[in-house]
Chains A and B, each alone.
Chain A
């Protein structure tokens, strides 16, 4: 029919390409590149392929990964959550404070704190309809301030030994945190692409005004997203405590950027309307393989950050270039 001249296409950037639950070439390229880098690293540093190294690589991947999963869904809905790292800090400090009362108390407090923070975000963004980037910017400063106020500058180390042991004992060769992440990824994948909930979230991201007129439950869906993200943050905080056997008021500060970077690396468009869970997983893997590989080859952590930043720009630029040549 109409050969889509530019003046009649409402949002060309969004409609050219579909990711939802389908093959995502960006993720495939990313995986191939990381595999090549892994082989290169393995040749130079054989211990890269050791079980211990993969334990070391996959545990933090899983913690960031939980945040990235929630971020994928939130970006699909046209939102963003900048407060995830701060929620991890707050939930971590509070949970570690409850540590002396046992594992159950620690887990309960971590989840409850995460959910409460998520509920606050969700309330302001969902029912009140405030813009996510600003709400979560304010919430980030607020939650991080609370974490510092409760936790002070020091650390907590009264972690129940049973919980700390979880961080050390692999299940079927892989860290428990990774299995939890994998399970969460699969569940979220089904929910995002196969359930009405997920399709409604993509619809809200694609055109919020149309979603309102079509009678979709915007406030409830948005609230549920930020609540879910809060819960995932609480879970990530608990897993982090298990791995580190301690907690600090700034423990989550450095998680926000890798989580968002992994989602964007995986090809989920920042404008919302579609998403790729597989892409997010690939983005996480690429990010952490690069980091780990550089570390093994003795590159300073500073240069690792620089390389990660360059990788992020390169991946998105490649995506944009591909979209442009596709036209």
Chain B
């Protein structure tokens, strides 16, 4: 039988760096391979090659006996997605650390949305497939909730369910437990083992040796791009692995002090505690509470939290993901509001409204989300440090060079930055390297340095000893650096800081905590002091069981029978075997009813309510606003509500709605098209000219629509082929198209139109002209396309998460061509009716029209960043603009004021959108 994966002598270099040097290995079905290595050892590069996302420079990779990469492939570009598609075909599923979910789409669509290769999208089939995949995981997730609103653990599950739904035979998990708390990590490990036992081949990457040992059949260690160890788990002891990962020098450190800690506190930490006590005693400071939380609560995160932080102590907040400990830490720093209870800082009420205020009061915070909230990637290491320092105190310490490049401006920080880089062991080319160019582990070190830029060496009055809050401070760092960071944190506590660490890693809790406080489901569950905090007890407290039998914690105590969903548990009832995942977070709508009850509400009604809540509030508001506006304007000018006036309003709105539907599709992808006015003008002139030249109607219309498609494809080419951002590309083509048009027509009017063209704009159908049914048909077509076809869903996927969409094989170029050519088609269609209604064409027609179109789509609730928007909202936005313009005319308001009203309305719409978003974020 062929190996699941066979890699031979794979090499890859990036510029001057050799990431992989002849790495090779073999993985059989049913095996779990643990891939280890320090930061920068080449693990990420290897996975990307296996995923087909990167082409190796040399070497070969075979999956199930089929070649994925042949030796010396010609071209070797590999970034066009074909390699990734081939890897998927061969059954490889990679779950990267960032998971690649679409935050704007429902859990069900994330799991099974693009499962069927067909062109149509069936929401019910997708739900069914997603339900099946989740049932195999025994994980009840809310199918209709956008994935972006889930906690990290549930997002991880969604990603695994996605791979399961695809029947992937080979699963590669890149640090899947990094964002998970201990108990969830255990459940995940158990799940992985079961999957291996049922025949999956699995590569598992983790920095946490203890947990990976529970499931690994074989260990593969990379160092500097080479395979330095590849042997069965039984023959690879911890000491051997550490030596392999870090070389000879590090082995003593790693094996002795850091990793193999047992339940007792390590000697170094004990020394720290002793020193703390001594320091405090010597200075006569009682360890009085510094920061007090009294019955604090924040909706949807935590409630009734009362605890005290003392100076000179490290308090660890532990718990499962989503148990509220992270949110509690954020509330202390002013990143989340309290609904109930209060904080007190140094005896005074503490109610920070934003981070600035917290920093000014000496409360410092290290965010868990390094890329999202931590660093400035396009700024240098020096600037990252200096700006943090500057934000914390306006006065630079005297020890820094006081020289400034210009008087009173940015102080010279070179020497200070170099000292910080050395002190924190940040490996970078120089202080002027961009922060974004550092490896993950070094970015984390920089983040810690940045958080601690307020150096403890600066003497602070005892009454203002700072509070330090660290959320997962050592995520993604290798063991040696981790030990160093832990020592640093203990040192700060020894100097009297009150330190709060949110951690999900058992070793870290034990190494750091003077006190470990455990959160469960948003409430305090237990508090352990250093002496009491032995491993078994801690695990028990984390998962909420009684005292466990220590034997149950050994790896061989696991019951890994995949057939049995409720296996007999060892004494102590530890959740190491398949037990239920914790109840998923309740949805905002049905949050009041418990999950069981909610299940009884018919699925259809529930999804209807959810859909209404998720997408409908804004549209409902818009509809009500429209009705109110009609009513008010109707009272002032009753003629507005006459049938004739309403019909002509729709006629006036039809061209705008045709263009807005095209723009909606463009904006769903996160793009914009500023050239629509120019394209509309070209089409109207073209159709008028062709008609005037005596072309038969069908031919002239077809030629005009084709021209629209070509103009739109021109935009797409600039964006997709040349890589020009849409706003710039269409700004350019706007000038180009309009300039060429005016050059060829010279601004002359074309008025001699043949009868058939005028007839298109004549109100023959109950007062409507043909443009109204055409707009309605287009709206129906776009609605169907967006909601019921895979290409339509791809717009939402690409707009919500472009990188994920590319990775999962959304054809980016095809999509961009489709969208922008579609926009050109809509502009041409609009142009035909424009000229038909006006009875004349001119090169200067519709100057500035793009703004009206964009305003209508934005008013309709589309997100300018992409991934969000609806046909209904867009049509309502168009109608709103039409009603305003008609009312102003009837109320005899000078035409000039129309801009003022439209502009204010857009601003109001933007404000309403912001309000909606703020409320969503608050939930």
Please give the residue numbers on chain A whose beta carbons come within 8 Å of chain B beta carbons, in ascending order.
Answer: 1-11, 14-15, 18, 124, 128-131, 133-135, 137-146, 148-149, 152, 190, 194-196, 198-200, 202-203, 205-207, 209-217, 253, 257, 260-261, 264, 270-271, 273-274, 300, 302-313, 316-317, 320-321, 324
Contacts and interface: CB of A to CB of B under 8 A. Distances in A.
B373 A213 contact: yes
18 contacts: A2-B442, A5-B54, A14-B377, A138-B903, A138-B904, A142-B902, A145-B902, A203-B379, A209-B369, A214-B355, A214-B450, A273-B377, A273-B379, A300-B743, A302-B738, A306-B738, A311-B732, A321-B723
Contact of A3 (B17, B728, B743, B903): B17
A187 to B, nearest CB: 11
A140 to B, nearest CB: 7
Nearest 9 A-B pairs (CB), nearest first? A145-B899, A142-B903, A309-B735, A306-B739, A2-B439, A15-B436, A138-B906, A141-B903, A145-B900
Main SS of the interface on chain A? Answer: helix
Contacts of B387: 196, 199-200, 203, 214, 216
A138 B914 CA distance: 14
A99 B729 CA distance: 40
Interface in B495-534: none
Given A3-B45, A130-B914, A321-B722, A264 B728 contact: yes
A189 to B, nearest CB: 11
A317 B897 CA distance: 40
A245 B357 CA distance: 51
A200 B391 CA distance: 9
A137 B723 CA distance: 25
Interface string B734-762: 11111111110000000000000000000
Contacts of A215: 355-356, 358-360, 388, 391-392
Nearest to A316: B724
A80 B190 CA distance: 50
Contacts of B369: 209
Query: What is the interface residue range for chain B against chain A?
Result: 35 or more
Given A137-B851, A142-B903, A313-B728, A210 B375 contact: yes
A264 B726 CA distance: 12
Given A213-B367, A309-B734, 8 more contacts: A1-B17, A6-B54, A139-B903, A144-B903, A207-B372, A207-B373, A257-B735, A320-B723
Contacts of B406: 190, 194-195
A4 B16 CA distance: 12
Contacts of A15: 377-378, 434-437
A133 to B, nearest CB: 6
Contacts of B855: 137-138, 141
B735 A308 contact: yes
B397 interface: no
Nearest to B48: A5
A217 B439 contact: no
Interface string B374-412: 111111000100111011100000000000011001100
Contact of A306 (B355, B371, B740, B898): B740
Contact of B851 (A124, A140, A308): A140
Contacts of A200: 387, 390
Contacts of B188: none
Contacts, number: 297
A236 to B, nearest CB: 20
Contacts of A3: 12-15, 17-19, 40, 42, 45
B910 A210 contact: no
B456 to A, nearest CB: 18
B96 A7 contact: yes
B391 A214 contact: yes
B97 A309 contact: no
A312 B373 contact: no
B604 to A, nearest CB: 36
Contacts of A211: 376
B204 interface: no
Given A137-B858, A194-B405, A213-B374, A203 B383 contact: yes
Contacts of B378: 11, 14-15, 18, 202, 205-206, 273-274
Contacts of A324: 723
B907 A303 contact: no
Given A212-B354, A261-B731, A148 B410 contact: no
Nearest to B409: A195
B825 to A, nearest CB: 21
A326 B778 CA distance: 44
Contacts of B731: 257, 260-261, 309, 312
Nearest to A5: B44
Max chain A Cβ within 10 angstroms of own Cβ: one of B45, B360, B441: B45
Contact of B409 (A1, A194, A214, A306): A194
Nearest to B405: A194
Nearest to B371: A10
B911 A140 contact: no
Contacts of A4: 14, 437, 439
A141 B379 contact: no
Contacts of B732: 261, 309-313, 316
B906 A306 contact: no
Given A140-B903, A203-B387, A308-B735, A11 B377 contact: yes
A235 B491 CA distance: 56
A255 to B, nearest CB: 14
B98 interface: yes
A144 B743 CA distance: 27
A212 B355 contact: yes
Nearest to A120: B907
B48 A207 contact: no
B734 to A, nearest CB: 7
A197 to B, nearest CB: 8
B896 interface: yes
